[in-house]
Amino acid sequence: MAPSAAVQRRARARTTHLTAMAGCPTHRVLDRMGDRWVSLILKELAAGPRRHGELARSVAGATQKMLTQTLRVLQRDGLVARTATDSVPPSVHYRLTPLGESLLPVLATVTRWAERHIDDIDAARAAYDRTP
Amino acid sequence: MAPSAAVQRRARARTTHLTAMAGCPTHRVLDRMGDRWVSLILKELAAGPRRHGELARSVAGATQKMLTQTLRVLQRDGLVARTATDSVPPSVHYRLTPLGESLLPVLATVTRWAERHIDDIDAARAAYDRTP
DNA sequence: CAGGATCCATTGCGATACTG
DNA sequence: CAGTATCGCAATGGATCCTG
């Protein structure tokens, strides 16, 4: 059967909102910060420039692929700068750009809220799971 | 061939960090906020309680399934409260809990940064993509 | 040392249909 | 009106191997 008019209308509305959302700055930024390794990498780089290998060790949860991939994205967004000396062996440093540093206070705000309220969240979960 | 000692050591380190990360409050909160529909739902509920249908309209980008699913997660985390009157037809309201409201300023901080710097990000991307 | 390329399991999410 | 259930795809991320 052909889709009803209502279904079509809703599908159009969804598409409209999806494209609108793709441009929403808040959503774009949250999407980045929510990426699995971003907050860890930013936190590590906040303490100073790091070599690829150093990051690989301190952000040990990430596979090499994800580390590089995440760094590329951050670099593309202008949050992280990459400096390579093409010697042998190669030596590559990553550091926060001023833009990246300006994000740190935001991250700190989230961290502060998280640490203050994580217990509330856990309590809420426990309560929710206890009563089916 | 059997995996080398180094590979095993690294795998263990990854596992250790993964479990550590799973408990990191910052990471857990960012993960939530980064969920595709969370910020939109919170923003909508910040303006006052909403019925399921109202949310479905204003957060039109989400399918009905994702809307319900996201609301459940938020409810479980204690950020959103659900009130149902089991009449016919049913009427269900969602509203922010005090915990949910306490998150709004954090969201506002992110929004402010995002709106101030989204142009920088776009410029950085354009520059990055221009030079392969 | 840094990181590209590949293969593969998982799953997030959309589409659709059905219920009280 | 609000919500559950099922199917299926496409993207995500992990393991592994290879190179300048």
3-state helix/strand/coil string of A55-98: HHHHCCCCCHHHHHHHHHHHHHCCCEEEEEECCCCCEEEEEECH
Q: Is A40 on the interface with B (CB under 8 A)?
A: yes
Question: What's the rounded mean pLDDT across residues B95-122?
Answer: 97
Asked if the Cβ of residue A84 lies within 7 A of any atom of strand C, the reply is yes
Res B52 pLDDT > 50: yes
pLDDT of res. B1: 47
Give the pLDDT mean for B19-26.
Answer: 85
Please state, in angstroms and rounded to a whole number, the distance separating the CA atoms of residues A28 and A33. 9
Query: What pLDDT is attached to residue B132?
Result: 66
Q: What's the burial of B48, exposed, middle or buried (CB within 10 Å: 0-12/13-18/19+)?
A: exposed
**pTM, rounded to two decimals:** 0.90
Residue A9 or A115, more confident:
A115
Peptide bond into A49 cis (omega under 30): no
Which H or E element spans position A43?
helix A38-46
- CB-based contacts of B102, cutoff 8 Å, min separation 6: A113, A117
Of all residues in chain A, the percent with pLDDT exceeding 90 is: 67
The pair of structure tokens assigned to A107 is 């991250």
Q: How far apart (Å, rounded) are the C-alpha atoms in residues A125 and B9?
A: 35
Q: Which has more pLDDT, A15 or B81?
A: B81
C-beta of residue B38 within 8 angstroms of C-beta of residue B32: yes
Residues of B in contact with A29 (CB under 8 A): 110, 113-114, 118
Q: Is residue A104 over pLDDT 80?
A: yes
Chain D bases having any atom below 7 Å from a protein CB: 1-6, 13-17, 20
Percent of chain A with pLDDT over 70: 96
pLDDT at A71 over 90: yes
The mean per-residue pLDDT over the stretch B68-77 comes to 96
Would you call B26 and A114 a contact, using CB atoms and an 8 Å cutoff? Answer: yes
The reply to whether A82 touches chain B by the CB within 8 Å rule is no
- As beta bridge partners, residue B91 has B85
pLDDT higher than threshold 50 for residue A79: yes
Does the pLDDT value for residue B2 go beyond 70?
A: no
Q: Does A78 touch chain B (CB under 8 A)?
A: yes
Nearest chain B Cα distance for residue A53, angstroms = 13
C1’ D19 / CA A96, Å: 29
